[in-house]
Structure 1
Amino acid sequence: MSQKNDQHQEKETKFQRNLISFPFLGFAVVILILNIAYPDINVFLALFGLFFLYNGGLLFVSFVKHYKRTMLQALILTILSGAIFGTLIYLYASVNNLF
């Protein structure tokens, strides 16, 4: 039984490394470069919208595969990226007088 738990934990660690850690670092670098080179709210709205959907997909996959720690981390990241996306939508609407 211990070997099965070790394999499950190893799969969870690989999942977390390959689908959370590395893509998040890449996303942070892209946001940094775009913020310096082309600071437009439309670009950030699209990027954070895609990032929110990506986090929702990670949350679903980690729920289906029963990765408890990763699911909790994905839930927190989904809530935070949703808050940033909502804030960007609000800023976009207030700048363009959509209220």
Structure 2
Amino acid sequence: MTATRQLPHPARDEIRIEAVLQALADPVRLQLVRELDRIGVGVACGSIALPVGKSTRTHHMRILREAGVTRVEPHGTARITTLRREDLDALYPGMLDGILAAKR
């Protein structure tokens, strides 16, 4: 049995507004974050329909995780992604609500 590797995530105090805004500036990543917020619980990353292939999806997931927007945790053979709303709201009150409410 092999151990599932934990992915690196920035601590709350390491999350930078520039990285968050850059991550959310991409329409595909913004769509993914909107869906995570709507669902409200962690989901396997492949369960959210996106207009991109698997390798591009993986790239977008990495950008969001490294920026501190999402948390990705192994759960069996899947990786469960959650929105780090609590961290983002504590650091940048109202920012995420404003971005997610913006006209598409």
Scaled by the length of structure 2, the TM-score of the pair is 0.30
The structure in which a higher percent of residues are helix is 1
Scaled by the length of structure 1, the TM-score of the pair is 0.31
